[in-house]
Amino acid sequence: MPRPIWSGMISFGLVNVPVRLYNATKKKTVRFNQLRKGDGCRIRLKKVCSSDEKDVQQGDIARGYEVSPDRYVVVTDEDMEALAPKASRLIEIGTFVKLEQIDPIYYEQTYYLMPDKGAAKAYTLLLSAMNDTGKVGVARFVLRNKEYLAALRPYQNILSLSVMLFSDEIVSVGEFEEVPEQIELNPKEVNMAKQLVDTLTMEFEPEQYKNEYYYQILDMIEKKAEGEVIESQPAATNNGKVLDLMSALEASMKAIKESNSKTKKKSKLKKEA
């Protein structure tokens, strides 16, 4: 049973909705420990002073910000606490906007918001209003002594909260020298590219996409634990052919048509069987 990581209230206008915040995602990754190759002994990492090579205990460690080479400003816990945002239990919606106005590049982490005791009616009212208007709420809230910008939006039949990056955390495209210049395109190539896009277009089904590398690692670990010898996979090779853009588009369309034809034949054989 998931446990809430925060509880407070959604505030919009003079309406407060008590809610609980839950993690909506769980990243799948395989964590490894560092071992000594000879005997498998686990490695412990020590904190050592760079000047005298002596071990440093946690209580003797200060926080420092480098302002120039080897020159630091020491920042204490008291300094940080003085600047910490005022503790609050409010997710304060400042404005509502259309969902399409927020580019996905701003989204960072998503949570679920569930109604707290006695808040079902107010929660459902907000959810219904957002669904009917197609709007999302842009809000600020404090979690673990840090203030966040967030978007509240309906997800299925509940409210979700997506933590957002601030605008100055987004790298401007103008900073890159590689941004393509305006190039005059061949209309035939444009039409062929559109056909390729249309051919590959389908409904998004997230269940079709698996973290294959994660499961391959787990499978490999299981096999090694059972004593199996793992053989290296051959590296992918390039056939050496360099196709021009139009040839590549035409070859792609041909491959898709052949694949679709084979799929239809298999489906027909299954039905006849």
pLDDT for the residue numbered 121? 94
pLDDT interval class at 254 (50, 70, 90): confident
pLDDT interval class at 175 (50, 70, 90): confident
pLDDT for the residue numbered 173? 87
CA–CA dist 74, 176 (Å, integer): 35
For the chain, what is the total number of helices (H) and then of strands (E)?
A: 5, 9
In the predicted model, what is the mean pLDDT of residues 157-178?
92
CA–CA dist 93, 12 (Å, integer): 5
pLDDT for the residue numbered 253? 83
Residues 6+ apart with CB under 8 A from 153: 99, 130, 136, 137, 159, 160, 162
Which letter, b or e, does each residue of 38-51 get, where b requires 16 or more Cβ atoms within 10 Å of its Cβ? eeeeeeeeeeeeee
Q: Report which of 99, 197, 88 is spatially closest to residue 143, judged by C-alpha positions.
A: 88
pLDDT for the residue numbered 243? 61
Residues 6+ apart with CB under 8 A from 96: 130, 133, 135, 136, 137, 138
| Position 198, amino acid | D
pLDDT for the residue numbered 226? 84
Domain boundaries, the chain: 6-27+84-168, 184-205+244-264
pLDDT for the residue numbered 260? 77
| Position 228, amino acid | E
Strand 6-12 versus strand 15-23 pairing type: antiparallel
Q: What digits encode the pLDDT tens for the residues 82-139?
A: 877 776 789 999 999 999 999 999 999 999 999 999 999 999 999 999 999 999 999 9
For residue 227, the SS3 value is coil
Q: What digits encode the pLDDT tens for the residues 25-52?
A: 988 889 999 999 989 899 988 899 988 9
* pTM metric for this prediction: 0.74
Q: Report which of 187, 141, 204, 184 is spatially closest to residue 10, judged by C-alpha positions.
A: 141
Class of domain 6-27+84-168: mainly beta
Q: Is a pLDDT exceeding 70 seen at residue 234?
A: no
In the predicted model, what is the mean pLDDT of residues 72-87?
83
